[in-house]
Amino acid sequence: MIRAVSVLTMTATTLIAPAVTHGQDQEQVHRGDHALVRYTGVEAAQAEAIATVVEATRQVAIERYGFDMPATITIRVNSQPGNKVRLFNDGHDRLDLSLRSPDQLRPPNESGIFHLYGLCHEVGHLAMYRAIPRHGWLNAAGAEGWAHFIGSEMVDGVYETHGESAWCFPYDYREDGTARLDAQLAEDEPGEVARAAGLWRELVRIIGPKHIAPLFSAWGQAELDPSDPGAELRRVLLDLHDDEQLTGWWNRAELLMIQTQPRSGFNARTAKPTALMRQPRELAIDNGKPAGKRSIAGGGHAVTLETPGPGWYLTKVRIFGSRYGHPRPPKEDFSVWLCDEDGQVIREFKFPYGKFARGNPKWVILATEPTEVPQRFVICVGFNPTGTKGVFVHHDSGPGVGGNDEGGPSRVGLPGRLGDAMSEGDWMIRALIDQRKDADALRE
Ligand SMILES: [Zn+2]
């Protein structure tokens, strides 16, 4: 999310790689008033510059926008050859930056990487996600557009406070701030993220910067219907602010930034467990041999399954995986969606995060209320993961049942936005299905 092009083209889906053990380098610490940098492979002065930028950015979020920011933001910096260049946030109080060499911190015209802007962008995500922990209704353009808008403003804010010397390789980084956003918006066809950033800026101009944090909190607490979150979000906005410009703003924002989970037309019946034959069948597309694992921020894991005929009920979902992050599981639920084959939601089931243990992966069994499934259906699982909280779901190697050279019936995505087939293998996600006793003519 730190390269100029990435910010404008990537979706919110980020693959979080399994944790790697880094070399023998001793981790060092730079302690600022509100930023703590744990670093390996970069110089002390570079760690200090990172802290300076993050602190100044945090200050903009608090003073200009009134956001509730953490007392200390922790930034883990790891630079070593072979690293992937990336920067991400945990949605709460932490950033992770990995580099191949400290030279990559040089100005964008030398390194091709917008690090200073990138740090501002990530702190912008923190400001929003702390107020709206469950933000699945905001699509990639909406979330990235916000970070792009406020990140650009923060770049200007850092310059106002510290000038060129804030960065370890001093340069006039104002060109990475709102000046860059303005230039993007002046293009013939600005990208979605730039357009969304423009919309957020418009909202700030209409309601005023100090009203953004309370609006985000109100949105964060709203009870939303996943098939039409826009209705309630709009009501919350218009309840808080009686301004006629907002109706038009909302209409444009909803089109560009709001994610709906379309409801399936399939009318699923439910059954009592006692009404079932208790002769479950397991539907699997994996071969039972784990070959890799993934956690997908901004996305999920989906498999397409098929029953032998009509009239089957989903009773359990089994997932082969393990949790990572703090020893104590987050006080949060994850979702298992039963969808039709087009990825439209039939039913959502929620389970506590603690169902998954840390350590060795295991088959985790999740019992659902018996719910009728169409003959072809999709099971999708979403953990809303971050760098420090999530579940690795394992996959086998090679395409599964119904797969071909292009990949198997496993996909990355969430209901309403399922992506392409996975080419690496199939998710180890299975379904148990059963029939009603009265479906068996011989028993009546
Ligand atoms: Zn971002």
SS3 category, 129: helix
Q: Residue 377 is which amino acid?
A: F
Structure-block tokens of residue 94? 């932490």
CA of 6 to the centre of ligand 1 (A): 9
Q: What is the pLDDT of residue 440?
A: 63
Closest Cα partner for 294 from 392, 422, 419? 392
CA of 286 to the centre of ligand 1 (A): 33
Q: Residue 90 is which amino acid?
A: D
Same domain, 278 and 206: no
Same domain, 346 and 204: no
CA of 376 to the centre of ligand 1 (A): 35
- According to DSSP, the β-strands at 94-99 and 292-297 are unpaired
Distance of CA 367 to CAs 97, 411, 433, Å? 39, 23, 11
Q: Rounded to the nearest 5°, which phi and psi values hold at 225?
A: -90, 115
CA torsion, ordered 368, 370, 375, 379, to nearest 10 deg: -10
Same domain, 350 and 381: yes
CA of 257 to the centre of ligand 1 (A): 14
264: in domain? no
DSSP element (H, E) containing 281: strand 281-283
Q: Which residues are close to ligand 1, an ion, with C-beta < 5 A? A: 1, 144, 147
| Total residues found in the chain within this entry | 444
CA of 122 to the centre of ligand 1 (A): 6
CA of 7 to the centre of ligand 1 (A): 7
Q: What is the pLDDT of residue 108?
A: 94
56 has which bridge partners? none
- Give the integer Cα–Cα distance in Å for 350 and 372: 17
Same domain, 306 and 377: yes
SS3 category, 146: helix
Same domain, 56 and 144: yes
CA of 125 to the centre of ligand 1 (A): 7
116: in domain? yes
CA torsion, ordered 14, 18, 22, 27, to nearest 10 deg: 60
Q: Judge if pTM exceeds 0.85.
A: no
Same domain, 82 and 196: yes
CA of 157 to the centre of ligand 1 (A): 19
Q: What is the pLDDT of residue 164?
A: 94
CA of 36 to the centre of ligand 1 (A): 21
325: in domain? yes
Structure-block tokens of residue 126? 């923190």
CA of 437 to the centre of ligand 1 (A): 51
Q: What is the pLDDT of residue 423?
A: 80
CA of 427 to the centre of ligand 1 (A): 26
Same domain, 21 and 158: yes
CA of 145 to the centre of ligand 1 (A): 8
267: in domain? no
262: in domain? no
- Give the integer Cα–Cα distance in Å for 155 and 437: 65
Q: Which of 257, 292, 310 is the last residue of a domain?
A: 257
Query: CATH no. for residue 174?
Result: 1.10.390
CA of 35 to the centre of ligand 1 (A): 20
Q: What is the pLDDT of residue 9?
A: 29
Q: Which of 203, 229, 257 is the last residue of a domain?
A: 257
- Give the integer Cα–Cα distance in Å for 319 and 295: 13
Q: What is the pLDDT of residue 367?
A: 97
416: in domain? yes
CA of 284 to the centre of ligand 1 (A): 35
Same domain, 336 and 402: yes
268: in domain? no
Same domain, 88 and 224: yes
227: in domain? yes
CA of 155 to the centre of ligand 1 (A): 15
CA of 1 to the centre of ligand 1 (A): 5
Tally of domains within the chain: 2
CA of 165 to the centre of ligand 1 (A): 25
Q: Residue 281 is which amino acid?
A: R
CA of 83 to the centre of ligand 1 (A): 19
CA of 403 to the centre of ligand 1 (A): 33
* DSSP assignments along 25-45, one per residue: PPPEEEE-SSEEEEEESS-HH
Domain that includes residue 401, residue range: 273-443
Distance of CA 109 to CAs 94, 148, 149, 407, Å? 27, 19, 21, 39
Query: CATH no. for residue 333?
Result: 2.60.120
Structure-block tokens of residue 2? 């730190």
CA of 89 to the centre of ligand 1 (A): 8
CA of 2 to the centre of ligand 1 (A): 8
Residue 189: burial class (beta carbons within 10 Å; 0-12, 13-18, 19+): exposed
Q: What is the pLDDT of residue 332?
A: 87
Same domain, 23 and 117: yes
Same domain, 282 and 250: no
CA of 400 to the centre of ligand 1 (A): 33
238 has which bridge partners? none
Contacts of 414 (CB under 8 A, 6+ apart): 136, 261, 299, 300, 302, 337, 380, 382
- One digit per residue, the tens of pLDDT, for the chain of length 444 reads 444 333 332 333 444 544 444 445 689 999 999 999 999 999 999 999 999 999 999 999 999 999 999 999 999 999 999 998 999 888 899 999 999 999 999 999 999 999 999 999 999 999 999 999 888 899 889 999 999 999 999 999 999 999 999 999 999 999 999 999 999 999 999 999 999 999 999 999 999 999 999 999 999 999 998 888 999 999 999 999 999 999 999 999 999 999 888 889 999 899 999 999 999 999 999 999 999 999 988 789 999 999 999 899 999 999 999 999 999 998 889 999 999 999 999 999 999 999 999 999 999 999 999 999 999 999 999 998 887 889 999 999 976 555 555 556 999 988 988 887 888 899 999 999 999 988 766 554
Q: Which of 257, 288, 321 is the last residue of a domain?
A: 257
Same domain, 210 and 336: no
